[in-house]
Structure 1
Amino acid sequence: MAKRLEQLREEYKNVPIPKELDSIVEKALQHRPKKKRIIMWPTAAAVAAAVLFTAIVNINPCAAQAMSKIPVIGKVVQAITFVEIKEEKDQSSIHVKTPALSGLSNHELENSINQKYLKESKQLYQEFMKATSKKNKEKWHLNVYSNYETVTDTPDLISIHRVIQLYGNTQSRYITIDKKNESLLTLKSLFKDDRYIKVISQNIKEQMKKQMKEDPDKTYWFTDEDIAPFKKIHADQNFYITEHHKLVISFDKYEVAPGYMGVTKFEIPTSVISNLLVGNRYIR
């Protein structure tokens, strides 16, 4: 674990920090607040992970809390809460948990995923700092939120879901990893060819129609009368695989429905796609 945390530290150092944060980090290193609002869990690994982000969150006496804990979510692959940032400023707020994978022998895959998570969190923090900056003449209240959870954890698979809320929009991001082969699964990799796009899209439209018929409070955009109707899924559409080996397709808020519908998901019947699958190891 110590070696992996050290590698994460190196990857973190190599990720470019937004220019706006450069001076903040420098000041934080030179003038540490007398009263830090950083909570470190009493384990060596957790402390090592938490200190990596200290310079960014220790920007002033009202700085956010940063914490790190390491819950085990699988026998081999672990999810680390790399850092948790919480701050309120000028009626704006930010609460962001940055996840990191640990335990993969495929270090290239692990590092690339962790770099992505770190960059996302830095971008969110930068948006928050921009909204609350004294130089910002156009003041607005911004609530930034990001969290993650493990939606699937089996001997073969792990699927991690990260949700990001920014400017009233909600985005869901999933990664699904084959634990035994230590490879990242893509939607395209599950199928023999691109026929899955049309087949899955048609099934989703049928589900939309059925849901709207059964529940008048549900609305989806898929007819020609709609301004931006859903036509088909993207080749790399957001997805995950359940512990029962079912494929679930996910759409962000506003992507295929009005905002009040939030993030929408559709479980695809295996019978609809069985003849298109490369095999039945993941979906059956």
Structure 2
Amino acid sequence: MKRLNKLKKDYDAIEIPPELDDLVKQSIQAAKKPKKKSSPLRNWSIGVVAAAALFVGSINVSPTFANSLGNIPVLGSIVKVFTIQTLTMEEETYQANLNTPAIDGLRNEGLQTALNEKYIEENKELFTKFKEEFAKMEEAGGGHFGMDSGYEVKTDTEQILSIARYKVTTAGSSSTEMQYDTIDKQHTILLTLPSLFKDDSYVEIITTYIQKEMKKQMEEDENTTYVAVEGADLEFSSIQKDQDFYITADHKLVISFDQYEVAPGYMGVVTFEIPSDILQDALVGDTYIQ
């Protein structure tokens, strides 16, 4: 914690620019070119993306820390993901089991510390919300309430680490929400969906494919439907610019929707693997999506 606080103080002296995704794109393009001597701009931009994407502007990047990133060789790394903390509560009608992941082995220790701190804070916040809901239900006469959280490593290659984190809330029926972090281990970059593309055209391209795929699946299986509530006008219309996603080991983009987001609850979390060929013209490069 002392080390993280020191990083925060150092970072606070430098202003974060708003064009974070543009900086990631520069790094993606740079990764495709023959290796040259690292420029101060490139080193600084990688550090900004790593810190700012996690702390939403509260942490800035110091020149010393950023320069150290530029000296990291582009090689594979052995990265471990493990459970560092479990928060539990077990009552007759109230249960919580919140498992917190931690990452070890990233060369960018600042990014690694920031991710781990984020995961701990997320689960602490969930546990606080659980206890608040538990107290409200007790005051109202009791009930049944449960909350579980955990994680799954979706991809772990020499280049890419994709971690899925889930939260399941149960109160009569259950609801599952997902979050994903996808990291370029070689260049220590936390990837965002917009950073993979030249402009916003990917939104329409991916949306059109998913709409067609939804119709195809419904035609092939009568038990498949993509209307959130029967009879309501809640059919899928578009992905968000920052839609949840991860990248597979064979460099495919997978778009993810939470339970109830685009379909009835019985379909659970819904994912679509997007064909890479329809994305080629919109991608910044083929470093990640092939």
Asked if these proteins are the same fold (TM beyond 0.5), I'd say yes
SS of 1:274's partner is coil
The corresponding residue for 2:164 is 161
Deviation at 1:271, TM superposition (A): 1.0
Could you tell me whether the CA contact under 8 Å between 1:252 and 1:262 is conserved in 2?
Answer: yes
Could you tell me whether the CA contact under 8 Å between 2:168 and 2:177 is conserved in 1?
Answer: yes
Could you tell me whether the CA contact under 8 Å between 2:77 and 2:186 is conserved in 1?
Answer: no
Name the aligned partner's letter for residue 103 of structure 2. Answer: L
The corresponding residue for 2:152 is 149
Report how many residues are paired.
Answer: 216
Deviation at 1:116, TM superposition (A): 2.1
Q: Quickly say closer, same or farther: Cα 1:77–1:213, change in 2 above 3 A.
A: same
Q: How does 1:16-55 map to 2 (within 5 A)?
A: none
SS of 2:101's partner is strand
Deviation at 1:268, TM superposition (A): 0.3
Q: Quickly say closer, same or farther: Cα 1:216–1:165, change in 2 above 3 A.
A: same
The corresponding residue for 2:208 is 202
The corresponding residue for 1:275 is 281
Could you tell me whether the CA contact under 8 Å between 1:172 and 1:252 is conserved in 2?
Answer: yes
Q: Distance in 1 between matches of 2:259 and 2:137?
A: 31
The corresponding residue for 2:85 is 83
Q: How does 1:242-257 map to 2 (within 5 A)?
A: 242-257=248-263
| Overall identity of the aligned pairs, in % | 43
Q: Quickly say closer, same or farther: Cα 1:234–1:134, change in 2 above 3 A.
A: closer
In the alignment, structure 1 residue 110 sits paired with structure 2 residue 118: no
Q: How does 1:118-157 map to 2 (within 5 A)?
A: 118-133=120-135, 136-138=138-140, 139-157=142-160
Deviation at 1:277, TM superposition (A): 0.7
Q: Distance in 1 between matches of 2:220 and 2:136?
A: 51
Q: Distance in 2 between matches of 1:254 and 1:135?
A: 24
Q: Distance in 2 between matches of 1:169 and 1:189?
A: 30
Could you tell me whether the CA contact under 8 Å between 1:79 and 1:101 is conserved in 2?
Answer: yes
User: Relative CO higher for 1 or 2, CA cutoff 8 Å, sep ≥ 6?
Assistant: 2
Name the aligned partner's letter for residue 124 of structure 1. Answer: L
In the alignment, structure 1 residue 184 sits paired with structure 2 residue 187: no
Provide the alpha-carbon RMSD of the alignment. 2.4
Q: Quickly say closer, same or farther: Cα 1:149–1:7, change in 2 above 3 A.
A: farther
Deviation at 1:127, TM superposition (A): 2.5
Q: Distance in 1 between matches of 2:256 and 2:102?
A: 22
Name the aligned partner's letter for residue 164 of structure 1. Answer: K
Q: Distance in 2 between matches of 1:10 and 1:145?
A: 33
Deviation per residue, 1:110-157 (Å, 9 max, x gap): 233222211221122113322434994122311111111111011000
SS of 1:275's partner is coil
Q: Distance in 1 between matches of 2:144 and 2:91?
A: 9
In the alignment, structure 1 residue 172 sits paired with structure 2 residue 178: yes
SS of 1:84's partner is strand
SS of 2:260's partner is coil
Could you tell me whether the CA contact under 8 Å between 1:89 and 1:132 is conserved in 2?
Answer: no
SS of 2:103's partner is strand
Deviation at 1:227, TM superposition (A): 2.2
SS of 2:279's partner is helix
Which structure 1 residue ranges, 5 or more long, are not aligned?
A: 12-73
Q: Distance in 1 between matches of 2:127 and 2:159?
A: 34
Could you tell me whether the CA contact under 8 Å between 1:92 and 1:141 is conserved in 2?
Answer: yes
Could you tell me whether the CA contact under 8 Å between 1:162 and 1:173 is conserved in 2?
Answer: yes
SS of 2:97's partner is strand
Q: Distance in 2 between matches of 1:255 and 1:134?
A: 27
Could you tell me whether the CA contact under 8 Å between 1:131 and 1:140 is conserved in 2?
Answer: no
Name the aligned partner's letter for residue 92 of structure 2. Answer: D
Greater mean deviation of Cα atoms: 272-281 or 161-170: 161-170
TM norm structure 2: 0.69
Could you tell me whether the CA contact under 8 Å between 2:193 and 2:243 is conserved in 1?
Answer: yes
Q: Distance in 2 between matches of 1:229 and 1:105?
A: 43
Name the aligned partner's letter for residue 277 of structure 2. Answer: S
Deviation at 1:6, TM superposition (A): 7.7
SS of 2:139's partner is coil
